[in-house]
Chains A and B, each alone.
Chain A
Amino acid sequence: MAVKAYEFIDHTADIGIIAYGADIKQLFINAASALFSLITKPESIKESLRRDLEIVSEDRDSLLVEWLNELIYLFDAEHILFGRFDIETLSCNQLKAACYGESFDPLRHKIKTGVKAATYHMLKVDKVDSGYKAQVIFDI
């Protein structure tokens, strides 16, 4: 049976995601995919560039927030949309990832939501039967 990668949840002022993953790496990948599917149609993102990211944080939960905030930054400042993520290493407070995507093209990419930040509010990373589950609320 196919496992759901992510879903969206409502929050009055903003919007949230619940991401799932068989392991922590997949969880982080699915959370990033959820972020970009909030922004635009994921199918519309081609792979024409690669960005290597390294993120260090205090603990695993804030690592997730900072990972998402880094991707939001790259979209807002450099207008890059990412469609695929390859997490090379992931520890409890550090990750290295290769991210694949392309520059925003107003003719091909329809922007659905302008996500401005990932927050710590109601942040939850839980172990569940099928692996892991994370909840993140975004400021939009």
Chain B
Amino acid sequence: MPGWQGHLIKIDDYHWEIPQSYKSGMRVPGLVYTSEEMLKSIREEQTLEQVANVAFLPGIVKFSFAMPDIHWGYGFAIGGVAAMDVKDGVISPGGVGYDINCGVRLLRTSLSEAEVKPRIKQLINELFVNIPSGLGSEGKIKASRKEMEQLMLEGARWAVKHGLGSEEDLDATEEGGCIKGADPSKISDKAIKRGMPQAGTLGSGNHFLEVQVVKEIFDPEIASVMGINEVGQILVLIHTGSRGFGHQVCTDHLRVMEEAVSRYGIKLPDRQLACAPIESREGKDYLGAMACAANYAWNNRQCIAHWARESFSRVFGKGPDELGMKQVYDVAHNIAKIEEHTVDGQKVEVCVHRKGATRAFPAGHKDIPERYKKIGQPVLIPGDMGRCSFVAVGTQKAMDETFGSTCHGAGRVLSRGAAKRMLKGSEVVHELEARGITVKAGSIPALAEEASQAYKDVTQVIDVVHKAGISKKVAMAVPLAVIKG
């Protein structure tokens, strides 16, 4: 398929506009955060056509946004943000994605690279055994159906109540690890059946757990508030979501919305954009179900973080507190949230769809924990397993421009098929090991799909959001060991 040939207006080095006149039916223009260099790969696919398509959705405010890590998705591109006015706007399950509240959690430690490196093989084996991962993996949590309902209502708190973590973890989690409005009556039996055995599992695909080492600190003052104090410090990054549960919730409600679209007289350029008014029964039902799945995902990361602490304790013979294993933060990358924002000087309530995007609230915002009030909300940007990941913070500029949102990761450049044709999983392992990165995976052939070459360079992504001012970069870490499902 030829690349996207549409016209873009360059506003400055990092802001590019898709004019509203590009396509009849667009209600707002598109706004793309990218550098000229990254734009080349973005233009290779129809990604920006999808950004333009999202601008068709009723109630969309200001712009259909694209972050620099944007890539082609289904319906909505991955790496997009769209805010809809609650009064007359729509909610779309596709604008959240199948893996509802796929996100990342970062733990810090007081261990150094020198202490961990000699025992890295033992540590990664211990983590691999202790944390259920891989396709069809089933968890150690045996939740009854009734408990499953409680889990949907309570999110990460459910795990904490069962002894897996602390109040302090909840405080360092977006929404306290539990988004309000969860309504288990909007969850199908199928979703429950898929979800129950998979609670507390890492899953497969791009999900991972990484033991990382801090390589560079850009802002020592902000980093120290997060407990990231020096180069060589060990961190743990967990990336997973709502597993088969979220997928079934999305599938179920997309079906409902598919039927609702014509009833509400909504005209869409792509069926996968199916949506319904936020205030409609279908809209409210989806929001109630989405909250259940988001909470399920927060519980998931809470459990996995606990088991990661357990594994470190076993290997280093010290308790998690002694090892300084505190949670830095946990953010959602796929979610829709009702938030208050200021548009043209007026306060408006909007439903912000972040699909492959991160909330990036500034210092002083009421929704961020007390300990981060002075620095802004931590933003966690994982890269691919061969390169690096970043920690950043939200800014006022993000609040003013992007409804408090920023990028979420590297973004794919190669399809899984193309990556597999180009590389062998075993070669990827050797290449990483040669660079001192230990890998443990459920499926070695599938590793090829996740190789560095399949992704954009996350450093370029973070540079764009940093220079555009919608995030401020704080620290960079590289992987020492990786677990892939």
A and B found bound together: yes
Partner of B75, one of A69, A111, A117, A121: A121
B445–A112 touching, CB < 8 Å: yes
Q: Is B190 an interface residue (CB 8 A)?
A: yes
Q: Is A104 an interface residue (CB 8 A)?
A: yes
A13–B193 touching, CB < 8 Å: no
Chain A contacts for B74, CB-based, 8 A: 11, 13-14, 119-122, 137, 139
* Minimum CB–CB distance for B191 against chain A, Å: 9
Chain A 117-136 per-residue mask, 1 if CB under 8 angstroms from chain B, else 0: 10111110000000000000
Q: Which of A23-31, A71-79, A84-92 contacts B (4 or more CB under 8 A)?
A: A71-79
Chain A contacts for B258, CB-based, 8 A: 58, 62, 120
* Minimum CB–CB distance for A18 against chain B, Å: 13
Chain B 220-258 per-residue mask, 1 if CB under 8 angstroms from chain A, else 0: 000000000000000000000000100110110011001
Partner of A120, one of B259, B272, B412: B272
Q: Which of B55-63, B113-121, B398-406, B414-422 contacts A (4 or more CB under 8 A)?
A: B414-422
Chain B contacts for A121, CB-based, 8 A: 73-75, 270-272
B98–A139 touching, CB < 8 Å: yes
Q: Which residue of A lies closest to B138 (CB)?
A: A79
Chain B contacts for A14, CB-based, 8 A: 74, 415-416
Q: Is B136 an interface residue (CB 8 A)?
A: yes
What are 13 A-B contacts defined by CB distance under 8 Å?
A: A12-B413, A58-B259, A76-B247, A77-B193, A116-B99, A117-B251, A119-B75, A120-B75, A120-B270, A121-B74, A121-B75, A121-B271, A140-B205
Chain B contacts for A122, CB-based, 8 A: 74
Give chain A interface residues in 20-69, CB to chain B under 8 Å: 58, 61-62, 66, 69
Most buried by B among A8, A69, A111, A116: A116
Chain B 399-442 per-residue mask, 1 if CB under 8 angstroms from chain A, else 0: 00000000000001111111000000000000000000000000
Partner of A13, one of B71, B135, B255, B443: B71
Q: Is B310 an interface residue (CB 8 A)?
A: no
Chain A interface (Cβ < 8 Å from any Cβ of B): 8, 10-15, 58, 61-62, 66, 69, 73, 76-79, 104, 111-114, 116-117, 119-123, 137, 139-140
Q: Which residue of B lies closest to A9 (CB)?
A: B417
Chain A contacts for B299, CB-based, 8 A: none
Complex formed: what's the CA distance from A121 to B98 in Å? Answer: 13
Q: Which residue of A lies closest to B485 (CB)?
A: A114
* Minimum CB–CB distance for B261 against chain A, Å: 10
Apart from A15-B416, A116-B244, what 10 extra A-B contacts exist at CB < 8 Å? A12-B415, A14-B416, A73-B248, A79-B136, A112-B445, A117-B250, A117-B251, A120-B75, A121-B271, A123-B272
Q: Is B274 an interface residue (CB 8 A)?
A: yes
B414–A12 touching, CB < 8 Å: yes
Give chain B interface residues in 365-416, CB to chain A under 8 Å: 412-416
Complex formed: what's the CA distance from A139 to B418 in Å? Answer: 16
Q: Which residue of B lies closest to A57 (CB)?
A: B255
A12–B254 touching, CB < 8 Å: no
A15–B75 touching, CB < 8 Å: no
Q: Is B312 an interface residue (CB 8 A)?
A: no
Chain A contacts for B126, CB-based, 8 A: none
Complex formed: what's the CA distance from A139 to B270 in Å? Answer: 16
Q: Is B208 an interface residue (CB 8 A)?
A: no
Chain B interface (Cβ < 8 Å from any Cβ of A): 45, 71-75, 78, 98-99, 135-136, 190, 193-194, 203-205, 244, 247-248, 250-251, 254-255, 258-259, 270-272, 274, 412-418, 443, 445-446
Chain A contacts for B417, CB-based, 8 A: 8, 10, 15
Chain B contacts for A140, CB-based, 8 A: 205, 416
Chain A contacts for B251, CB-based, 8 A: 69, 117
Complex formed: what's the CA distance from A104 to B134 in Å? Answer: 14
Chain B contacts for A119, CB-based, 8 A: 74-75, 272
B412–A13 touching, CB < 8 Å: yes
A120–B416 touching, CB < 8 Å: no
A12–B247 touching, CB < 8 Å: no
Complex formed: what's the CA distance from A73 to B75 in Å? Answer: 22
Chain A contacts for B416, CB-based, 8 A: 10, 14-15, 113, 140
Complex formed: what's the CA distance from A8 to B421 in Å? Answer: 13
Chain A contacts for B271, CB-based, 8 A: 61, 120-121, 123
A11-B72, A123-B271 known; A76 vs B194 contact (CB < 8 Å) = yes
* Minimum CB–CB distance for B38 against chain A, Å: 15
Most buried by A among B74, B135, B204, B244: B74
Complex formed: what's the CA distance from A94 to B242 in Å? Answer: 30
Complex formed: what's the CA distance from A140 to B244 in Å? Answer: 11
Complex formed: what's the CA distance from A120 to B423 in Å? Answer: 30
Most buried by B among A12, A69, A113, A117: A12
A120–B205 touching, CB < 8 Å: no
Q: Which residue of B lies closest to A138 (CB)?
A: B74
Chain B contacts for A61, CB-based, 8 A: 271
Chain B contacts for A139, CB-based, 8 A: 74, 98, 247
Partner of A114, one of B204, B248, B250, B412: B204
* Minimum CB–CB distance for A109 against chain B, Å: 10
Q: Which residue of A lies closest to B454 (CB)?
A: A12
